[in-house]
């Protein structure tokens, strides 16, 4: 089958975690004989910031790390209708320009034979409702959302014909344990600053516990203001800025524990959506302690796959326990990895995507055409 993904960027993951899952799904499709094309704006903010900060090297890194992916940039003169004419499936991400969202819908109306899906992996449906309600999804076959709470928001508002919960997951081809790498430091966190969405939480669940316990460690992420970098340094944590997602598994392996700090809009308004970093960390077999969020969809086994910390004091205690109890650390790492491999891989999500396509009437998915035959 021929898939076209409209992405904000598949090349750049600078402050853009959505790229992780999109890359993983496309890699899974390609590995199973399908054709997957990624279209992205030439002037997208993530790609532009990555090039400004890292230079052309970052794009070369992407090509080296993900040689099977096919990104194509577009500008105002791009012939979208020609590029999607022969597609079997077109998936348009939520960051796509609203006028282009509507234009692709009109292409479907005007004879497009593809299954057309809108993909939402952000909190704007509840934090910036007007921006989503203004989108023209009339001619889309369905909406993919990364949590049940978000699906319910779409259904209540009447956005789109139907909505399907399609959680993010770990690309198990990339995110896996690295037993050959020795852990040389205590704590690692991979996460961007997030402005007011979690600045207080970063201090409570990361900076203060690390300082009070005297931990060594590393923080990867972008957009940290000077005062935040100073606070990290004061706590004994190195801030190393942007990290290519392909380098994250080794970064986890060099540390003994990691934390998960969800953004406030997800915690308060979209329960059950942990975002992708928790999937990736557990897939790498590193013990994890999480700041509060509500696992209402029972994606994990809290207390077994990872530990929940209700406040900074509990985070400090859990980190101390994991770092001083080898048996506890190994049990958490093994259980978390077990749950990821059983329930939360891109391979499993690709299977779920085909079930969704069948529900939308896609003829290849309905007929159950074998993967290689469908690709041919």
Asked if residue 98 is part of any domain, the answer here is yes
pLDDT at 369 over 60: no
CATH number at residue 12: 3.40.50.2000
Give yes or no: residues 19 and 144 share one domain. Answer: yes
- The pLDDT score that the predictor gives to residue 364 is 86
Work out how many domains the chain is built from and give that number: 2
pLDDT at 366 over 50: yes
pLDDT at 374 over 80: no
Kindly write down the DSSP assignment for every residue of 221-252, as one continuous string. Answer: -S---HHHHHHHHHTTEEE-----GGGHHHHH
Give yes or no: residues 217 and 281 share one domain. Answer: yes
Name 141's Cβ contacts closer than 8 Å, sequence gap at least 6: 108, 115, 116, 117, 161, 162, 360, 361
Give yes or no: residues 275 and 368 share one domain. Answer: no
- Is residue 289 within 8 A of residue 256, CB to CB? The reply is no
With cut-offs at 50, 70 and 90, classify the pLDDT of residue 365: confident
How do residues 49-59 score in pLDDT, each as one tens digit? 999 999 999 99
Six-digit token string for 22: 């999109």
Give yes or no: residues 162 and 272 share one domain. Answer: no
SS3 220: strand
Give yes or no: residues 150 and 272 share one domain. Answer: no
**Closest of 232, 175, 169, 223 to residue 195, by C-alpha:** 223
How do residues 324-357 score in pLDDT, each as one tens digit? 999 999 999 999 999 999 999 999 999 999 999 9
Give yes or no: residues 205 and 135 share one domain. Answer: no
Mean pLDDT rounded to a whole number for the chain: 94
The residue-averaged pLDDT of 226-252 equals: 97
pLDDT at 90 over 80: yes
- The pLDDT score that the predictor gives to residue 163 is 95
- Is residue 104 within 8 A of residue 116, CB to CB? The reply is yes
SS3 184: coil
Other Cβ atoms less than 10 A from the Cβ of 345: the count is 21
Asked if residue 210 is part of any domain, the answer here is yes
pLDDT at 371 over 80: no
Q: Which residue has the higher pLDDT, 374 or 272?
A: 272
Residue 352: exposure state from Cβ atoms within 10 A (0-12, 13-18, ≥19): middle
Asked if residue 114 is part of any domain, the answer here is yes
Give yes or no: residues 196 and 298 share one domain. Answer: yes
Give yes or no: residues 287 and 333 share one domain. Answer: yes
Give yes or no: residues 206 and 280 share one domain. Answer: yes
Asked if residue 177 is part of any domain, the answer here is no
| Bridge partners of residue 58, in order along the sequence | none
**Closest of 97, 88, 104 to residue 138, by C-alpha:** 104
Asked if residue 180 is part of any domain, the answer here is no
Asked if residue 223 is part of any domain, the answer here is yes
Asked if residue 12 is part of any domain, the answer here is yes
How do residues 5-61 score in pLDDT, each as one tens digit? 999 999 999 999 999 999 999 999 999 999 999 999 999 999 999 999 999 999 999
Q: How far is CA 70 from CA 22, 29, 238, 368, in A?
A: 12, 12, 35, 26
Q: Which of 45-49, 74-78, 220-224, 273-277 has the lowest mean pLDDT?
A: 273-277
Residue 195: exposure state from Cβ atoms within 10 A (0-12, 13-18, ≥19): exposed
Give yes or no: residues 18 and 143 share one domain. Answer: yes
Six-digit token string for 154: 């779409």
Give yes or no: residues 227 and 150 share one domain. Answer: no
With cut-offs at 50, 70 and 90, classify the pLDDT of residue 159: confident
Alpha helices (runs of H) in the chain, residue ranges in sequence order: 18-31, 45-54, 57-65, 80-84, 98-109, 124-127, 129-133, 148-157, 199-202, 208-213, 226-234, 248-253, 264-269, 276-283, 312-324, 326-343, 346-359, 363-367, 371-375
- The pLDDT score that the predictor gives to residue 41 is 98
Six-digit token string for 5: 């993904």
- The pLDDT score that the predictor gives to residue 107 is 98
Asked if residue 311 is part of any domain, the answer here is yes
Q: Which of 191-205, 221-235, 248-262, 276-290 has the lowest mean pLDDT?
A: 191-205
The residue-averaged pLDDT of 147-161 equals: 90
Give yes or no: residues 163 and 214 share one domain. Answer: no
Provide the residue range defining the domain that includes 300.
Answer: 185-343
Using a cut of 0.85, tell me whether the model's pTM lies above it: yes
Residue keyed to tokens 């909505």 = 163
Task: Express as a percent the part of the chain with pLDDT over 90.
Answer: 87
- The pLDDT score that the predictor gives to residue 368 is 57
Six-digit token string for 163: 């909505």
pLDDT at 363 over 90: no
pLDDT at 280 over 70: yes
- The pLDDT score that the predictor gives to residue 7 is 98
């Amino acid at each position: 089958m021929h898939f076209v993904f409209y992405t904000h960027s598949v090349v750049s993951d600078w402050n853009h975690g959505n790229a992780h899952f999109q890359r993983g799904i496309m890699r899974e499709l390609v590995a199973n004989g399908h054709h997957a094309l990624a279209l992205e704006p030439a002037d997208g903010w993530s790609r532009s910031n990555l090039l400004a900060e890292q230079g052309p090297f970052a794009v070369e890194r992407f090509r080296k790390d993900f040689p099977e992916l096919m990104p194509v940039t577009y500008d105002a003169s791009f012939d979208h209708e020609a590029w999607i004419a022969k597609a079997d499936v077109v998936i348009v991400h939520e960051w796509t320009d609203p006028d282009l969202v509507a234009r692709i819908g009109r292409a479907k109306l005007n004879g497009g034979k593809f299954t057309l899906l809108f993909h939402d992996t952000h909190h704007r449906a509840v934090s910036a409702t007007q921006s989503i309600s203004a989108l023209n999804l009339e001619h889309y076959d369905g909406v993919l959302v990364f949590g049940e709470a978000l699906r319910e928001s779409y259904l209540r508002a009447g956005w789109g014909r139907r909505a399907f919960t399609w959680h993010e997951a770990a690309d198990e081809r990339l995110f896996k344990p690295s037993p050959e790498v020795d852990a040389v430091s205590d704590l690692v966190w991979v996460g961007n600053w997030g402005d007011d969405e979690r600045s207080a939480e970063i201090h409570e669940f990361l900076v203060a516990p690390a300082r009070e316990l005297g931990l060594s460690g590393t923080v990867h992420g972008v957009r940290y203001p000077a005062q935040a970098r100073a606070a990290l340094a004061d706590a004994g944590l190195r801030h190393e800025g942007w990290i290519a997602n392909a380098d994250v598994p080794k970064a986890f392996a060099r540390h003994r524990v990691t934390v998960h700090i969800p953004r406030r809009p997800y915690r308060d308004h979209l329960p059950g959506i942990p975002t992708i970093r928790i999937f990736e960390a557990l897939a790498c077999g590193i013990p994890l302690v999480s700041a509060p969020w509500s696992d209402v969809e029972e994606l994990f086994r809290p207390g077994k796959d990872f530990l929940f910390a209700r406040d900074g004091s509990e985070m400090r205690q859990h980190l101390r326990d994991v770092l001083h109890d080898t048996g506890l650390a190994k049990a958490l790492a093994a259980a978390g990895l077990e749950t990821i491999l059983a329930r939360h891989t891109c391979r499993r999500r690709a299977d779920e995507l085909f079930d969704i396509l069948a529900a939308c009437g896609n003829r290849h998915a309905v007929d159950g055409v074998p993967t290689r035959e469908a690709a041919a």
